[in-house]
Structure 1
Amino acid sequence: MVLSLSGIKKSYQTAEGNIPVLNGVDLSLEAGESLALTGESGSGKSTLLHLAGGLDLPDSGIITVGVGK
């Protein structure tokens, strides 16, 4: 496994309150697999990539990178 996300939750605090962005995301990618993220503006695509790349931390869940042969 090259990348695994399990139960990922992320929200942001604003003046209006807590805004949930990701709620229980599960994803697993093996070597050689590709993934395309699509969605509307503000749907969490960049947040998911920041978490997977280690640029941000999830509120909860487990991210594993580079495990395997």
Structure 2
Amino acid sequence: MPTTAVFTVEGMSCGHCERTVTAGLTALDGVTDVTADAKSGQVTIESTEPLPEDQVRSAVIRAGFALIGRA
């Protein structure tokens, strides 16, 4: 079942940050779309099924940022 989740990510400050976070999250299995917004610090993830928050957190950390949690 398709799902949408919104997370707050700390540390994004520019378009490059948005692209880095987007690339890291897009690599997760089942992710169909990612929209990162540095101004609000929010990332919207669309996926084929709900993603475990620990997987999202790991991808965000690998990209060099901190996942605060669900928005």
TM-score, shorter chain, exceeding 0.5: no
Question: Of Structure 1 and Structure 2, which has the larger fraction of its residues in strand?
Answer: 1
TM (norm. structure 2) is: 0.34
Higher Rg: 1
Normalised by the length of structure 1, the TM-score is 0.34
More helix by share: 2
